[in-house]
A and B are shown apart, each in its own frame.
Chain A
C-alpha cells in the first residue's frame, strides 16, 4: 500500500530539526500518531497532506505552541519541551510565516516587520525601521508601504509583509504554513520565488506545510507526505512523481478515488 518512511538524516550528524515519535490527540481524537521527521541544516522540506490531517498541529508542536502527548521535538539536539528557557531560546532562531500572515492590526507594516528586532533583540526603533524598510524591499515592497496598516493591504501584500517579518531577524530556521493559500496562481508563484530566494540568501533551514503541489515542488528539496498522523512517504522533490506510493499518487494527481478517504468533517484542530 505505502512505502515505509525513509529516514534522510543519519550518521553522526545531528539533524537541525527532529520530530521523533510525536503523538498528539484532542479530546480522544488522535491527530499525530508517532510522527517522525528529520530535517538537515540548510535543507528545505515540504510536508504535504490533506486538510485536517495534522500538518498545522505538527508545526505547532515544533513551535512549542502545543505540547506533544508523547515523543520528542529537538532543534540542534536540544529538546524543546525541556523547559521554557529552551523553548524561548529556540524561538529566537525561528522565523514563521503564518497562513493568514497574522499581522498585528494595531501596528503599521514597518513595525510588524521590525517587531522581532525591537521586542526580542532590543534594537532601537530608528535602526529597526531602516532594517524593516530594507527587508520590505527584499520582498518587493517599496518604502511607501512601510507606514500602511495591515487592513489596507491585499492578500499578496500581506503574505509579503509576513515573509518580511519572518526573515527580518535573519533566523536559522524558517517555517511556512500554507504560504500560497488564498492567492491567485501568479501571486502564489511570486511568493514561492520570494521564499526560495530568501531561504537561499539566509542559508536557512526551511519547513513548509502545504497542499499546493506547485508550491511544494518549487520550494522544497525534499517532500514528505503526512497521513493518518504519520509520515507515510518522503523523498527528493524531483522523485515525487515516481514515488510508487498510492496515497502520494492520489494526492498529487488530486483524485477523489484512491486509498485516501476524506472524512465529511475536517478535524477541528488540524
Chain B
C-alpha cells in the first residue's frame, strides 16, 4: 500500500511533541511534589546513600584515570611547544569544568539511571505502584521525589570527589612518570584555578543528577509489557540520560562562560 510521506513526517512530529509533553508534565508534577509535604526523609537518605556512597568507587576510578591520561596526553602535545609548565593548569581546569561533571554524569547515568528504571519498571509491571495508590500513598512522592532529590544533591558531592581524585591522578603521572617538581606542580595547579571553575562544575553536576534521576524514574514509571518492557525502559533511561548530560553540559557551559 502506498503511504504519503508527509503523513509519516506528521506522525513522527506529533509523536515527538507527545513524548516531550508527557515528560514535561511528569517532571512538573514530580518537581512540584519536592516542595510539598509529606516528604520521606528515610527514603531520601536511602537514595542519597545508593546514589552517592555506592557510586564512589566507579566515579573515583573514572576521575583518577581521566586525570592521569589527561596529564600524559597534555605532556605529549605541550612538550612540543616547551609549554610543560601549563600542564597542572590544563589538568585542573579540564577536570573541574568539564571532565569531572561529564564523566561522573555518564557513569552515574549508567549505574544509577539504569537501576532506577529497572526497579521502578519492575514495580510497575508487578502492580506495586498500583498497590501504593491503593494504600493512599502518592507514587510520585514516595518513589520519584527521593530519587530526584538524591540525584540533585549527591552528584555535586560525587563530582567534587572526582575533581580531587582526578587532579591527584594528574599529579601522580606528572611527578612519578614525567618528572615534575611536586611543589611547583601544586603551585601551578592552584595559581589559575578560580572559584567559578569549581562552582560551574558543581552546578552542572546538580543539573545532571536531576536529569539522570528524572530519566530513570520516567522510563521506569511508564514501562509496560513485562520483562521486555523493563529492559527497554532501562536502555532508554541510560541513553536519554547520557544524551541529556552531554546536551546540558554545552548549555550550562554556554551560560557560564560564553563571552
Contact = CB atoms under 8 A, between A and B. Distances in A.
Contacts, number: 48
A100 to B, nearest CB: 6
Nearest to B40: A119
Contacts of B123: 104-105
A98 B131 contact: yes
**Best-buried of B123, B126, B136 by chain A (most CB within 10 Å):** B136
Contacts of A102: 126-128, 130-131
A147 interface: no
Given A100-B126, A102-B126, A120 B136 contact: yes
Nearest to A115: B135
Contacts of A64: 133
A119 B126 contact: no
Interface in B105-143: 122-123, 126-128, 130-131, 133-137, 142
Contacts of B122: 105
How extensive is the interface on chain B, given as a class?
A: 10 to 19
A268 to B, nearest CB: 9
A86 to B, nearest CB: 13
Contacts of B137: 115, 119-120
Contacts of B130: 60, 63, 65, 98, 102
A253 B127 CA distance: 31
Interface in A99-114: 99-100, 102-105
Contacts of A165: 135
A95 B142 CA distance: 19
Contacts of B142: 119
B33 to A, nearest CB: 13
A63 to B, nearest CB: 6
A31 interface: no
Interface string A72-103: 00000000000000001001101110111011
A105 B137 CA distance: 16
Given A100-B126, A102-B126, A63 B131 contact: no
Interface in A53-67: 60, 63-65
A91 B136 contact: yes
A91 B133 contact: yes
B134 A104 contact: no
B109 to A, nearest CB: 22
Nearest to B141: A119
Contacts of B133: 63-65, 91
B137 to A, nearest CB: 5
A231 B161 CA distance: 63
Contacts of A68: none
Given A63-B133, A64-B133, A120-B137, A104 B128 contact: yes
A116 interface: yes
A116 B127 contact: no
Contacts of B128: 102-105
A88 B135 CA distance: 9
Contact of A92 (B126, B127, B131, B136): B136
A104 B127 CA distance: 10
B136 A99 contact: no
Contacts of A115: 135, 137
19 contacts: A63-B130, A63-B133, A65-B130, A88-B136, A91-B134, A96-B131, A96-B134, A98-B131, A104-B123, A105-B128, A115-B135, A115-B137, A116-B136, A119-B135, A119-B136, A119-B137, A119-B142, A120-B135, A120-B137
Interface of A: 60, 63-65, 88, 91-92, 94-96, 98-100, 102-105, 115-116, 119-120, 165
Given A105-B128, A119-B136, 7 more contacts: A98-B130, A98-B131, A99-B127, A100-B126, A102-B126, A104-B131, A115-B137
The 10 A-B pairs with the shortest beta carbon distances in the complex, nearest first, are: A120-B136, A102-B131, A102-B127, A96-B134, A116-B135, A119-B137, A91-B136, A98-B127, A102-B128, A92-B136
